[in-house]
A and B are shown apart, each in its own frame.
Chain A
Amino acid sequence: MLYREAGQFKTAYATDQQIFPIRQDRVAVIAVVAFAFLVVPVIGNQYWLSAILIPFLIFSLAALGLNILTGYAGQLSLGTAAFMAVGAFAAYNFVLRVPGIPLLVAFALAGGCAALVGIVFGLPSLRIKGFYLAVATLAAQFFIVWALVRFPWFSNYSSSGVITAQQMKIFGVAFDTPLEKYLLVLSIVSLMALAAKNMVRSEVGRAWMAVRDMDVAAEVIGIRIMYTKLTAFAVSSFYCGVAGALFAYAYLGTVEPEAFTLDLSFRILFMVIIGGMGSVLGSFLGAGFIVMLPIVLNISIPALNRLLYALVQWSLPASITSNLELMVFGGLIIFFLIVEPHGLARLWQIGKEKLRLWPFPH
């Protein structure tokens, strides 16, 4: 009942082709965006903004980037963190070395640098497929971090190879407080998510999906494989690069190259898989899940431990609870993969199907 498109007639091609063809979807998306822009700034405290929402949005953007490559174009990448590192260090150098460059331009150029690097490491994808392709992105992962540590120019000859993000200023307005940073990140992420949503239903997005489903078949029907795969690498790396720049500027402030480890790449891949491959919404859901889960475990397991102490005057030592968190984290990931291998986005889809009939399922 609630979610039913019956009665929503399309009288022009334009309305048929709009981004959210169903009215309920439109309302929901506008409501979420309005909530994020208007309500969250009022109710969110500093902890929520600077420790959860900002990283959540940044990781969503990175996950979106990886999802374009892996979920839409079907090319596995284990080098996401490295492309983020390129974005972060490129943004730093643009702001440092080009006096008066507008910050957003620097971010866009940083994304562009990441895209170029992405294309270079995407070239082997024309010949290598599947898990074997992981080697190309792994090479990117280790080579880029190595290069950033090795060549001091990237970090402006800082003795330890660490960069400190400059103050964020756009049109003379400084973005210093968590709230300001949150709004900036939110604006960038919303715009880029909208762009991604549009891109994947455009010609290039359909080509990506054709290549993902079967590249030989796609080639036969006249899709240019090289162009398609490389655009996927470029667009994906662009998103990751911007995410990396935001990671340095809006979140951590000071970053060392080692912050962009293989482990981070894996976490972002987790977001994509848990959230749902080939889904823009899934990138956000997955990022939320992977960002929140360790925090929830870190709060709830010690709390249970205190409860245990209150009940029986005995509690587990910290090393046990810390390891327990890790075990539960791993276990829950396996559990989610078993219960819903297509990710949280799929659960949402099933929910929508149910809502379509609810409350009269027959």
Chain B
Amino acid sequence: MLQRKKVIAWLAGLAVATAAGAVVAQQTQYVPLLSYRIGAYAAGGSGIFGGYIDYMNYINLKEGGINGVKLAWEECETEYNNSRGVECYERLKKGGSGASVVQPLSTGITYSLIDRVATDKIPMVTIGYGRTDAADGRVFPWVFPAITTYWSQASAMIRYIASKEGGEANLKGKKIVHLYHDSAYGKEPIAVFQAYAKKDGFELTEIAVPHPGNEQQSQWLQIRQIKPDYVILWGWGVMNPTALKAAAKIGFPREKMIGVWWAGSEEDVIPAGAAAKGYTTAVFNVAGKDLSLVQDIVKVVYGAGKGNMEDKDRVGSVYHVRGIVHGIITVEAIRKAQEKYGKGKVMTGEQIRWGLENLNLDDARLKAINAAGMMPPTKLTCADHEGSGLVKFQTWDGSKWKIVTDWIAPDKQMIRGMIEDSAAKYAKEKNITPRDCSKES
């Protein structure tokens, strides 16, 4: 009998707790977070979602929400697993006032949600991952690979290498190795690199590293034989420090290794120790504790004891600032939507989609939100869901990342053409009639 009472008490407690959660969510702008804080991807997940939550807390504490509408959120652990991600999405999408924006931070989950977000009318923002051709907003009205995509990055990488060699003409006869994680992710940029190899006349070798990439002896022996001028590292997780160590082992200069933005965080280079010095990667967000927005967040959010990062040393790290950028895109899209649909009101997914399609984070706006220089200026439209595609390059000096270039633009014309071709193929397979963007308001 006693036990039954105990159980009832527990259940009552649970009900109260859930109800309390629900009450808080009323009259707030609700953001579901498909986060992951365990497993092999945890370093990225905890940093980015930490930054995302920190920024939303910052807006709530500093401005009292977006024009008075506070942000509320709920986390669901996806373990970076497609099935878990879909379940989390389905569970959270009806939470609070209804989901505003979903950012799955996993390419696999992004793919699984593309059809679902269109049915549910919830915009999905995939910054720097996910489906590249979704940048064509006419075919993918609900998906926003905002700021930049893998293809743009590949193009910017070649331009960066060209700038070091004194122009694209000098790439002729050079040897470049694309060392990639053997998966959909690693194969994504190959088409772009091949197009450039043809155009600029450099010799491209693609070398695959099987998942998880903790063993790269044979790949680097091949590289030693090829003696390339540059190695592009399209890695993930343990593959990155392993590659840096292996490069040191064969004496390949780290200065000639150019990493993707998922290979360019503190977590990627610290395990490699001294072997990482001189290694350069692309980034679409600048990192550093001295950024004025980061300092303000530390003051406002962490000062109030609401900071999300357990390890305070990671505040201002690449992943943490990337999370802040995720937060900025979300908040600014909601703000833009409120300008049209009523300030101080809770926005629906459809209204936020309008906000995203009319988002214009120019230098002035970035300055106003204290993020100038932290992320590239970005303007989204109905047809272009990507924006500027600008990236900077940063070099690891042994203790921190140092930005070494200004924003470098991709060959937007070439990339846009490839995106439109690929999106058109998708539209044909799925029987989608692309929207006519001239008719959108």
**Do A and B contact each other directly (Cβ–Cβ < 8 Å)?**
yes
Hey, which bits of chain A sit against chain B, CB under 8 A? 46-47, 50-52, 55, 96, 146, 149, 156, 159-162, 164, 166-167, 251-259, 263, 294-295, 298-300, 302-304, 306-307, 310, 317-319, 321-323, 325-326
The docked-state distance in angstroms from the alpha carbon of A306 to that of B112 is 30
Decide if B302 is an interface residue (CB 8 Å cutoff): no
B357-399 contact mask (Cβ, 8 Å, vs A): 1 or 0: 0000000000000000000000000000000000000000000
Give the interface size bracket for B toward A: 35 or more
Contact of A160 among B35, B89, B185, B210 (CB under 8 A): B185
| Nearest CB in chain A to that of B94: its residue | A47
A159 CB contacts on chain B under 8 angstroms: 132-133, 187-188, 190-191, 422
Q: Do A253 and B115 have beta carbons less than 8 Å apart?
A: yes
A300 CB contacts on chain B under 8 angstroms: 14
The docked-state distance in angstroms from the alpha carbon of A254 to that of B184 is 13
| Nearest CB in chain B to that of A319: its residue | B37
A50 CB contacts on chain B under 8 angstroms: 86, 90, 116
The docked-state distance in angstroms from the alpha carbon of A258 to that of B84 is 15
Contact of B38 among A55, A167, A306, A326 (CB under 8 A): A326
Identify 17 residue pairs between A and B in the complex whose beta-carbon atoms are under 8 Å apart, listed by A's number.
Answer: A47-B94, A50-B90, A55-B87, A159-B188, A160-B187, A160-B188, A162-B111, A164-B114, A167-B430, A251-B83, A254-B115, A258-B108, A258-B184, A298-B76, A298-B77, A299-B91, A304-B14
Shortest distance from the beta carbon of B107 to any chain A beta carbon, whole Å = 7
Contact of A161 among B35, B187, B422, B430 (CB under 8 A): B187
Known: A47-B91, A259-B82, A319-B46. A307 touches B14 (CB 8 A): yes
Shortest distance from the beta carbon of A315 to any chain B beta carbon, whole Å = 10
The docked-state distance in angstroms from the alpha carbon of A235 to that of B118 is 37
Decide if B21 is an interface residue (CB 8 Å cutoff): yes
The docked-state distance in angstroms from the alpha carbon of A298 to that of B90 is 14
Decide if B433 is an interface residue (CB 8 Å cutoff): no
Q: Do A164 and B184 have beta carbons less than 8 Å apart?
A: no
| Nearest CB in chain B to that of A167: its residue | B431
B6-17 contact mask (Cβ, 8 Å, vs A): 1 or 0: 000000011011
The docked-state distance in angstroms from the alpha carbon of A253 to that of B211 is 24
Shortest distance from the beta carbon of B316 to any chain A beta carbon, whole Å = 19
Q: Do B116 and A253 have beta carbons less than 8 Å apart?
A: yes
Q: Do B112 and A303 have beta carbons less than 8 Å apart?
A: no
Known: A160-B187, A253-B112, A253-B116. A323 touches B132 (CB 8 A): no
Q: Do B86 and A251 have beta carbons less than 8 Å apart?
A: yes
Q: Do A252 and B82 have beta carbons less than 8 Å apart?
A: yes
B266 CB contacts on chain A under 8 angstroms: none
Q: Do B115 and A304 have beta carbons less than 8 Å apart?
A: no
Decide if B310 is an interface residue (CB 8 Å cutoff): yes
Contact of B18 among A258, A298, A306 (CB under 8 A): A306
Decide if B163 is an interface residue (CB 8 Å cutoff): no
Which of B84, B86, B210 has the most chain A CB within a 10 Å cutoff?
Answer: B86
Q: Do A318 and B86 have beta carbons less than 8 Å apart?
A: no
Which of B36, B84, B108 has the most chain A CB within a 10 Å cutoff?
Answer: B108
B130-148 contact mask (Cβ, 8 Å, vs A): 1 or 0: 0111000000000000000
Q: Do B183 and A149 have beta carbons less than 8 Å apart?
A: yes
The docked-state distance in angstroms from the alpha carbon of A5 to that of B264 is 69
Q: Do B14 and A160 have beta carbons less than 8 Å apart?
A: no
The docked-state distance in angstroms from the alpha carbon of A310 to that of B12 is 13
Q: Do A322 and B13 have beta carbons less than 8 Å apart?
A: no
Decide if B41 is an interface residue (CB 8 Å cutoff): no
Contact of B111 among A256, A304, A319 (CB under 8 A): A256
Decide if B20 is an interface residue (CB 8 Å cutoff): yes
Q: Do B77 and A322 have beta carbons less than 8 Å apart?
A: yes
A318 CB contacts on chain B under 8 angstroms: 35, 37, 49, 75, 77, 308
Q: Do A166 and B82 have beta carbons less than 8 Å apart?
A: no
Q: Do A252 and B184 have beta carbons less than 8 Å apart?
A: no
A319 CB contacts on chain B under 8 angstroms: 37-38, 42, 46, 310
| Nearest CB in chain A to that of B431: its residue | A167
B86 CB contacts on chain A under 8 angstroms: 50-51, 55, 251-252
A257 CB contacts on chain B under 8 angstroms: 183-184
Known: A55-B86, A318-B77. 10 other contacts (CB 8 A): A50-B86, A50-B90, A160-B185, A164-B114, A258-B184, A259-B108, A298-B88, A310-B16, A319-B310, A326-B38
